[in-house]
Structure 1
Amino acid sequence: MSDRAAVTSEETTDKQDAYANFDASADHDAESETEAGIAPSTTGWEWTQDELIAEIRESFALIEPHGPAAAAWFYDHFLGANPRYRKYFSDEPAIQHRRLFQAVQRIVSDLDRLEVFLPYLRRLALRHRKFGLRAAHYQAFGASLMATVANFCGERCTERTIAAWETGYGLVATVMLEAVADADSVAPPYWEAEIIAHEALTGDIARIVARPLEDTRLPSAYQFRAGQYAAVETAALPRVWRDFSFAGQPGNEEIEFHVQLGRAGGVSEVLVRQTAVGDHLRVAEAEGELAFPDPDRVARLLAVAHGTGAAPVYALVADAIAEGDRRPLTVLLVSDGGPHYLAEAFRALADKHGELTIEEIVDDLAAAVVQTHNAATGPGGGCGAVLVGPSAMVDECRSALLTAGVAAEGISSDLFD
Structure 2
Amino acid sequence: MLQQETIDIIKSTVPVLEENGEKITKRFYELMFGNHPELLNIFNHANQKQGRQQKALASAIYAAAKHIDQLEAIIPTVVQIGHKHRSLGIKPEHYPIVGKHLLLAIKDVLGEGASDEVILAWEEAYGVIADAFIGIEKNLYIEAESQDGGWKDFRPFTVSKKVKESDVITSFYLKPVDGGKIASFLPGQYISIKVKDGNDSFTHIRQYSLSDAPNGEYYRISVKRERYNSEKPDGRVSNFLHDMIQEGDHIEISAPAGEFVYVPDENPIVFISGGVGITPMMSMLKKAVQSDVSDITFIHATMNGNVHSFHKEVTDVVNENTNVNYYIAYEQPTNEDIQQKQFSVDGRLTIKTLEQWIPSKDSIIYTCGPVPFMQAVYKMLRELGIETDQIHYEFFGPALELN
TM-score by length of 2: 0.80
Quote the residue 2:349 is aligned against. 365
Structure 1: gaps spanning 5 or more residues: 1-39, 41-45
Residue 133 of structure 2 is aligned to residue 176 of structure 1: yes
Matches of 2:350 and 2:76 in 1, distance apart?
33
Q: Which residue of 1 aligns with 2:19?
A: 65
Which runs of 4 or more aligned residues in structure 1 lie more than 6 Å from their structure 2 counterparts after TM superposition? none
Please give the alpha-carbon distance, in whole angstroms, between the structure 2 residues aligned to 1:407 and 1:184: 34
Q: Distance in 2 between matches of 1:321 and 1:83?
A: 47
Give the whole-Å Cα distance in 1 for the aligned partners of 2:269 and 2:254.
Answer: 30
CA offset at residue 329 of structure 1?
2.1
Name the amino acid aligned to 2:304: G
3-state SS of the aligned residue for 1:330?
strand
Greater shift in the superposed pair: 395-404 or 358-367: 358-367
Q: Deviations over 1:308-358 (max 9, x none)?
A: 222221211111112332x22222211122363322221211122212111
Secondary structure, counterpart of 2:172 in structure 1: strand
- 172-181 or 124-133, larger mean C-alpha shift: 124-133
Partner in structure 2 of residue 406 of structure 1: 386
Report the counterpart of residue 300 of structure 2 in structure 1.
333
State the match for 1:344 in structure 2: 312
1:268 and 2:238 aligned: yes
Identify the range of structure 1 (333-342 vs 139-148) with the bigger mean alpha-carbon deviation.
333-342
CA deviations over 1:3-45 (Å, ceiling 9, x no partner): xxxxxxxxxxxxxxxxxxxxxxxxxxxxxxxxxxxxx9xxxxx
Letter in 2 for 1:231: S
Quote the offset at 1:87 in angstroms.
6.5
Q: Is the alpha carbon distance of 1:101 and 1:185 closer, same or farther for their aligned partners in structure 2, counting shifts above 3 Å?
A: same
Q: 1:387 Cα deviation (Å)?
A: 1.0
- Return the structure number with greater relative CO, CA threshold 8 A, min gap 6: 1
Which secondary structure state, in structure 1, belongs to the residue aligned with residue 188 of structure 2?
A: coil
2:376 corresponds to: 396
Distance in 2 of aligned mates of 1:249 and 1:293: 14
Q: Which residue of 1 aligns with 2:207?
A: 243
Distance 1:235 1:145, change over 3 A: closer
Residue 165 in structure 1 maps to residue 99 in structure 2 = no
Write the letter of the residue equivalent to 2:157: A
Provide the residue aligned with 1:27 in structure 2: none
Aligned partner of residue 358 in structure 1, secondary structure: strand
Stretches of structure 2 lacking an aligned partner (at least 5 in a row): 146-151, 229-234, 331-346, 398-403
Identity of aligned residues (%): 19
Alpha-carbon spacing, 1:165–1:272, altered in 2? closer, same or farther (3 Å): same
| TM-score calculated relative to the size of structure 1 | 0.77
Q: 1:135 to 1:147 in 2, by over 3 A?
A: same
Change (3 A) 1:194 1:235: farther
Aligned counterparts of 2:91 and 2:261: Cα–Cα separation in 1:
32
- 119 and 388 in structure 1: CA distance in 2 versus 1, 3 angstrom threshold: closer
Q: Is the aligned partner of 1:415 residue 2:395? A: yes
Q: Take 2:393 and 2:64, find their aligned partners in 1: how far apart are those partners? A: 20
| Deviation at residue 412 of structure 1 after TM alignment | 0.8
Tell whether the 8 Å contact from 1:111 to 1:117 is kept in structure 2 after alignment.
no
CA distance change for structure 1 residues 354 and 198 in 2, over 3 Å: closer, same or farther?
Answer: same
Kept after mapping to 2: 8 A contact 1:293/1:410 = no
Tell me, yes or no, if the aligned pair for 1:369 and 1:397 is still in contact at 8 Å.
Answer: no
SS, match of residue 305 in structure 2? coil
Q: Deviations over 1:113-147 (max 9, x none)?
A: 44443453344344224555444432222112112
Selected match of 2:284 from 300, 308, 316: 316
**Matched residue of 1:282: which SS?**
strand
Q: Is the 8 A contact 1:62 1:152 kept in 2?
A: no
Q: Secondary structure at the match of 1:167?
A: helix
RMSD: 2.8
What is the alpha-carbon distance in structure 1 between the residues aligned to residue 176 and residue 42 of structure 2?
Answer: 25
Distance in 1 (alpha carbons) for counterparts of 2:213 and 2:282: 9
> What amino acid maps onto 1:244 in structure 2?
Y
